[in-house]
Structure 1
Amino acid sequence: MQQHTFKQHPRLGTEVLQGGNLRELTNQQRQEFKQSLWENGVIVVRNQNMTASQLQEFTNHTFGESGFKYLPKSLDPDIHPDLQSPGVSILGNPKESSPEIIGQFAWQWHHDKDHLPRTDGLDMNSLYVVMLYGMEIPVQGLDGKPHTTEFIDMVEAYQNLEPGYRRQLEQMSMYHLPPRTYKLGSDVPMKKHPIVSTHKVTGHKGLYLGSDTSIAVGMEDDLSLAKQFWQELFQRILECTPVYAHVWQPGDLVVWDNSQVMHAGIPYDGSKYKRVALRVAAVDKTQIV
């Protein structure tokens, strides 16, 4: 897919709380932090030093306890205990004994949706916040450039499409499945959601596409056609909407409002470089809308 990538964006990737410590925020600072997130879609806090449990504690205090827990049976002896906590997942290749990379499925464009399709009462464009804390960063990706995660502004993407095409999409919805690979059937949770969604805080319209497993309503009996439709739509978006690339530094916490942006991880060579990133997600339960 063609795309134009750049490292500056008028709103995505705004740096906040310069010199601040996320473990010591006041309630007012937490509210300002969230307001910056709704306004900018992706925000960055640099030079943090947290364990997995401290990251989860910050999430709970800021957005409320989500109840979304990844519960390991026991601590992994090959991974430092500070990297392990219920509710926090580890991405990258944290084990010294193995170059296996955890999270390669995220190396494609998608909205994070984890629990949304299978949780009653949550729209697909709920205020679903995802945080990624980079502890160890590869020197470069497979493309030889600095290690990045790429984001695209789906509010901007909607505005950049031709008016006639926007009106067409406003009449359409998609079925969304849980992430990764699921075979369709009566036991697979799916939710129908409009392609054009209205943000619950800002009121701005944007596109919500999920991933290339999403199925446009009316194409349920032809999954190859549904995937082709999704890919052609996303290619059209890439051709008219620049991509923001966050260049990682150790200690970065990158936070994104999943209802406003899509993102993609960039591959790297796990046999040469180590990457350790902690990921936590929550639906904001403190926002009055």
Structure 2
Amino acid sequence: MNKLLTVQQHSRLGKEVLRDCNLASITDQQVEELKQSLWEHGVIVVRKQKLTASQLKDFAIKTFGDSTIGRRPKPLDPEIAPDLQSPGVSILGNPKGLSGEVAGKIAWQWHHDKDHLPKTEGLDMNALYVVMLYGVSIPEEGTDGQPHTTEFLDMVEAYHNLDPQHRQQLELLSMYHLSPISPQPGVEIPRKLHPIVSTHKVTGRYCLYLGSDTSILKGLENQPEVAKQYWQELFEDILDCTPVYAHIWQPGDIVFWDNSQVMHTGMPYNANKYKRIALRVGVMANS
């Protein structure tokens, strides 16, 4: 799989917003500005933040609504600073120190985040699911020697970059999507259909939605290898005609992305050499 172009500046993705704003004391007007920027740009960043996990969760609730999806209270980990822990906030990286054990390696492949939507009854797969990732401690470089990044694909742009005949074919197709979160033993893994081409609930733009390589094209439910090959070939077609935007992390960045509009992948780093701590919150947005 060859990336034709990786860009650090993108015509739409990665807009910096709310400069000099402390998100712990965000105003209602700033909330609306942030949300409108997110729907318009797909990926936005607020820099120079210094928040605890509880403050990040409170900000997420105030901004996007009080979603209880995925908020599972659990005891504090004594090996991790209390300020980094709060129900509903995930810790990615190696917060316990230099070690090959990294939380969140599952994100080191291209995917959309809609973690709980497939297994939550009554939720539309096209619902607005926003993820925010707060970079507390950033590695100096990735395994390729370049700055530490997260990469994004604009799936609105990707739709328009495909030739018209291919777009028309995709508009007739849907895929089944599974939650990446493993179920308890004996629990059947639920899945929901999502059209490959959908209409964004706020902007009305056409977007491609692929989930991840575990997605199954409707009609190929009993042919998992064929389904995986179809997904990979479709994704390669998209990657060949759509530039990849790389967000270069700085400590204190909070990057927000709208999973109806973008795919993303985390990038590997040497966890035996560098410490990485990122706090992640995923919320159902109330538009």
CA shift digits 1:171-205 (9 cap, x unpaired): 0000000115679x982110011100100000000
Task: Give the structure-1-normalised TM-score.
Answer: 0.96
The offset of 1:2, in angstroms, is 1.0
SS for the counterpart of 1:75 is: coil
Report what 1:76 is aligned to.
77
Percent sequence identity is 65
Question: Given the alignment of the two structures, is residue 2 of structure 1 paired with residue 2 of structure 2, yes or no?
Answer: yes
State yes or no: 1:283 paired with 2:267.
no
Q: Which 4+ stretches in 1 moved above 3 angstroms?
A: 180-183
Q: Describe how 1:203-242 pairs up with structure 2 within 5 A.
A: 203-242=204-243
User: What pairs up with 1:104-119 in 2 under 5 angstroms?
Assistant: 104-119=105-120
Structure 2 counterpart of 1:2, one-letter code: N
TM-aligned CA distance change 1:161 to 1:214, over 3 Å: same
- Whether 2:128 is the aligned partner of 1:127: answer yes
User: Counterpart of 1:121 in structure 2: which amino acid?
Assistant: G
Is the Cα–Cα contact under 8 Å of residues 78 and 96 in structure 1 kept in the other structure? no
Counterpart-to-counterpart distance in 2, 1:232 and 1:150 = 20
Cα distance change on mapping 1:186 and 1:222 into 2, 3 Å? farther
Distance 2:73 2:79 in 1: 14
Q: Is the 8 A contact 1:94 1:276 kept in 2?
A: yes
Residues 1:25 and 2:23 aligned together: no
Structure-1 separation of matches of 2:88 and 2:187: 28
Distance 1:145 1:180 in 2: 31
Are 2:139 and 1:163 equivalent residues in the alignment? Answer: no
1:262 aligns with 263
User: How many angstroms apart in 2 are the aligned matches of 1:122 and 1:73?
Assistant: 25
Unaligned runs of 5+ in 1: none
Count of aligned pairs between the two proteins? 285
Q: What is the alpha-carbon root mean square deviation over aligned residues? A: 1.5
Q: How many Å apart are 1:100 and its aligned residue?
A: 1.1
Q: Are the counterparts in 2 of residues 176 and 190 from structure 1 also a CA contact under 8 Å?
A: yes
What CA distance in whole angstroms lies between the structure 2 residues aligned with 1:154 and 1:122? 22
Checking the alignment, whether the CA contact within 8 Å between 1:105 and 1:180 is kept in structure 2 is: no
More displaced, 93-102 or 75-84? 93-102
After TM superposition, give the deviation of residue 274 of structure 1 in Å.
0.4
Separation (CA, whole Å) in 1 of partners of 2:7 and 2:88: 32
Q: Tell me the amino acid that sits aligned with residue 213 of structure 1.
A: T
Return the offset for 1:208: 0.5
- Counterpart of 1:227 in 2: which secondary structure? helix
Deviation track 1:224-251 (CA, whole Å, cap 9, x = no partner) reads 0000000000000000000000000000
Are the counterparts in 1 of residues 111 and 265 from structure 2 also a CA contact under 8 Å? yes
Deviation at 1:125, TM superposition (A): 2.3
- Structure 2 residue matching 1:121: 3-state secondary structure: coil
Equivalent pair of 1:125/1:258 in contact (CA under 8 Å): no
Between the aligned partners of 1:182 and 1:53, the Cα distance in structure 2 is 27
2:98–2:272 contact (8 Å) kept in structure 1? no
Worse-superposed segment, 255-264 or 63-72: 63-72
Question: What is residue 253 of structure 1 aligned with on the other side?
Answer: 254
2:73/2:88 contact within 8 Å kept = no
CA contact (8 A) 1:47 1:250 kept: yes
The letter for the 2-side match of 1:200 is K
Mean alpha-carbon deviation: is it higher for 94-103 or for 155-164? 94-103
Cα separation, 1, equivalents of 2:80 and 2:168: 50
TM-score where L is the length of structure 2: 0.96
Structure-1 separation of matches of 2:285 and 2:71: 18
C-alpha displacement of 1:70: 3.8
